[in-house]
Each structure stands twice: as structure tokens, then as C-alpha cells.
Amino acid sequence: MKFVPTPFAGAFIIEPERLEDERGFFARCWCRTELETHGLVASFAQCNISFNRKLGTLRGLHYQAAPYCEAKIVRCTRGRAFDVMVDLRPSSPTRHHWHAVELSADNARMVYVPEHFAHGFQTLEDDTELFYQMSEDHRPEAACGLRFDDPAFAIAWPIDNPILSLRDLSFPLLGVEQIAC
């Protein structure tokens, strides 16, 4: 596994190293030892799948509040997605900055999203599926979010007029909510 740094300390793009032959390829997509070597959370409590029927579907920006902050490894297993993380760490020099990477079934990239980050994605194809490994169990009472279109972040989403849930539309703009995570 190749760990490619992002502009955020502790956040990575993970590229599987493919061992290819005439049959196809084999690649490791999770290794406790390699995660620990990079100082990352290597224990996961839950795995989730997000299936999205339509191009332009946007989910996020989601996070869990303390003491249930979660790290995530996210991989696209079908289709393509524009995957975004936003740094919410109070003392970080990159606080409120965002970074995006295209995840696809073809490129097999993953992102490691550390604790204290908000996360979201927008689908770039119909029938896109993402697979998440989560370091914490989902706690509805700790589930939080921020608006995808918050001018404080100015995220350049690739598709206008996204398909959104009422819940994601109801998230506050930065400054309206005390960020607890």
C-alpha cells in the first residue's frame, strides 16, 4: 500500500500496490501494521456501504462529535465519486480547509479521513457505491454535519444542483453551530 500525503497532517490517499498477471491483479487494501506505522487508527468497529442511484448525488458533510469522533477509510467499489474532507481540528493550521480526490472502482484509491474531519462526496456516475471502514460505531446522538455549500469552505463541487437529503440541507453554516468534534 502506498500512502500519499494530502495537505492535511494525518490524512492520506491510499493507493493499493497491484500485483498483476494474466488473470488480473491482487492488492492489499487494509493492513493494520502499515496504518500503525503511519501513526493512524488501525482498529475499525464498523463497515458501511453507500449506494447512490443518480449522478450528482451529494452526501455530507458528516462527522461525529466527541467523544465519538471517527476515522474512516473510504473506497469507491462501483462508479466514481468526488470525495471531500474538511479539517475541523481547532488548533490545525489547515482548519476549515478542504481537499478532494476522485475515487473510482477503476483507480481503487482510498482516502484515510482522520478523526476531527468532516467528510462528504458527490457521485460522478449513476449507480456509484462507496465502502467505508469506521473506527467508531455510529452514534445517532453524536451525528453532526455542516452545509455542503458553506461559503466558509467554498468547496468546488463538480456538479451543480446536487441531489441532497433534507437532513443534509438542514445542516448549519459554519459559525451557526459550535463544532464539537
Q: Which residues are catalytic?
A: 62, 132
Give the CA radius of gyration of the chain. 16
Q: Residue holding cell 465519486?
A: 81
145: left (phi over 0), alpha (psi -120 to 50) or beta: beta
Rounded Cα distance between 110 and 108, Å, is 7
Q: Is the dihedral of CA 60, 85, 13, 161 positive or negative?
A: positive
